[in-house]
Amino acid sequence: MTTLTGRQARTISGYVLKLLEYPRWFIDREVDFTDCHHQGRFTAGDARCEHCDFGAACRWLNQNRDEPTPATPLPELLNALQTAVRYVREDSAETSCHPRRCDCDACEWLHEASAFLRTHRHRT
């Protein structure tokens, strides 16, 4: 197990940035803005946004639609990743049946992202 140095920390941010690409695409595909009166712009405090079926995903998408820069603080990236893992996991559990050793994109991503989050938690 390697230790965290400044150089590796940058590599870790780069890795999280890469991991965040999949949920951005996935959530963008899942969320349906056809009936949205804000045209997909999440509005905090709006009752319709709070009760929307896509509320959590939409909020995430609005916060993470633009690719984060390498200057984004790591805790912020990890937080976004954690939320994305929760969303993708719930969504894929609901929409289809995944066997224990499933190799679809969602399962592979979940596997990689949760392994990364687990490892990272142990190091901090």
Contact 120, 74 (CB under 8 A): no
Of 24-32, 70-78, 103-111, 114-122: span binding Zn ion (CB under 5 A):
103-111
Q: How many angstroms separate the CA atoms of 52 and 58, rounded?
A: 9
Determine if 107 is a binding residue for Zn ion (CB under 5 A): yes
Choice from 38, 41, 98, 120 touching Zn ion (CB under 5 A): 98
Nearest approach in angstroms of CB 114 to Zn ion is: 14
One-letter amino acid for residue 39 of the chain? Q
What is the DSSP secondary structure assignment for residue 96, as one 8-state letter? S
Q: Which is nearer to Zn ion, 7 or 100 (CB)?
A: 100
Determine if 102 is a binding residue for Zn ion (CB under 5 A): yes
Q: How many angstroms separate the CA atoms of 90 and 54, rounded?
A: 13
Task: Give contact residues for Zn ion (rule: CB under 5 A).
Answer: 98, 102, 104, 107
